[in-house]
Structure 1
Amino acid sequence: AAALALLAAGCGDDVTAGPASSSPVAASSPVSDATAATDATTTEPSTAGPTTTDPSTTDPMTTDGPASSAPTSEDGVDAAGEALADVGTAPSEEAATGAGLSVVDVRTGRHEGFDRVVVELAGDPAGLPGWYAHYVDEPSQQGSGDPVAVEGERFLEVVVRGLGYPFDTGQEELVGSVDGQGTALVREVRAGGVFEGQAQVLVGLDAAADAPYRVTRLSDPPRVVVDVLG
């Protein structure tokens, strides 16, 4: 009986999920930071040790899965609604800090009420990307002006700034396209190579008119995030 009492007095393991944070910054279009956090959870006493899960990695040009109805910290989005604030159809612009980044990944995802496009960058640890985003009637290549084939009816051009050439940044630059699988409006996203310190990202939308959107900036790693309402 004494041995059983000693076993029953053992302490349970605490499993705590730390808060996820993000720090988007915007200029011409007001943007609020979106954060998500989970409360600490205490398990019942158990003889088994805590269970951990290795973080998953994302291959370039991949598609994020649909979000649940609960808030999620994926790429800094609060699915409860904060990511839907301060949207519009007017051009959006933010200056870059530094010039030593390369586009290394593009991915899409569907959240409650909006599609999300994430442009991930790498290179200069102190660098923060800028952008100029606006709707265009016909997508064309920066520099040459040649037409660019992108799936969709309306086209949102996002020019990502603060970039360098791969031989300067030490990063493998991503050039290519990804389909908007599981999205409501995003049909295709095409990322072009760096040209004069900036890279063109064309978002083709299955929409009859310009859809409200917003652009934000996240760090660790640096990302330019485009949310399209619909």
Structure 2
Amino acid sequence: MKAVVLLSGGLDSAVALYLAKSKAYDEVHALSFDYGQRHQTELNHAKAIARKAGVTAHKIVTLNLGDFGGSSLTDKSMEVEDGDVTRTDIPVTYVPARNMVFLSIAASYAESIEAQNIFIGVSQVDYSGYVDCRQTFIDAMEKAINQGTVMGAEGGKPIKIHAPFVNKTKAQEIKLGMELGVDFGLTWSCYRGGEKPCGTCDSCLLRAKAFEEAGFEDAALK
């Protein structure tokens, strides 16, 4: 059995990768995206995580969602706003249909190597409200993938989307990652890039809150 893991270089995807590795698949393939994001920091961390984890292969797909705009993560004319962990609206860091695009490409890659498992580290508990991080979306994408691939529709080899953290808090993820041996010092969460995390964007605030709740020091801040 083979697995494809979406690896951004962040906390969630790193734990998802190590979880997939712990399942003793014959092959674990990491898939990252250079999608026109405002900085390359997280992608560089993804490369380091993949090397340390010892994946079968690490593919980086280049596309430019920045051509469409609509997100402060891809449009440098927009500012990354300071975070608010109590917000109820969708922030400007939401990239339109990003996980839909990523999972579609992951499905193409999975079918090309006959992998029946795709891992994605989304959560609908501690998150910024993104609609493509919810269980309903994951279920719908899995159904679409299996109707739109030969493996799923005619080959009798359905593709499963694993979203193991969709109902877990980031603190729970961190505890699991510690058990699995994840080097959190190699992960990057800050939306703004730079040499050090800004500490004030949504992602930085959610990460800090999670490490505090988990009772661990964040190695990335040392």
State the TM-score, normalized to the length of structure 2.
0.26
Query: Could you say which structure has the greater relative contact order, defined with CA pairs below 8 angstroms and 6 or more residues apart?
Result: 2
Normalized per residue, the structure richer in helix is: 2
Which is strand-richer, 1 or 2? 1
Q: Which has the larger radius of gyration?
A: 1
TM-score computed with the length of structure 1 as normaliser: 0.25
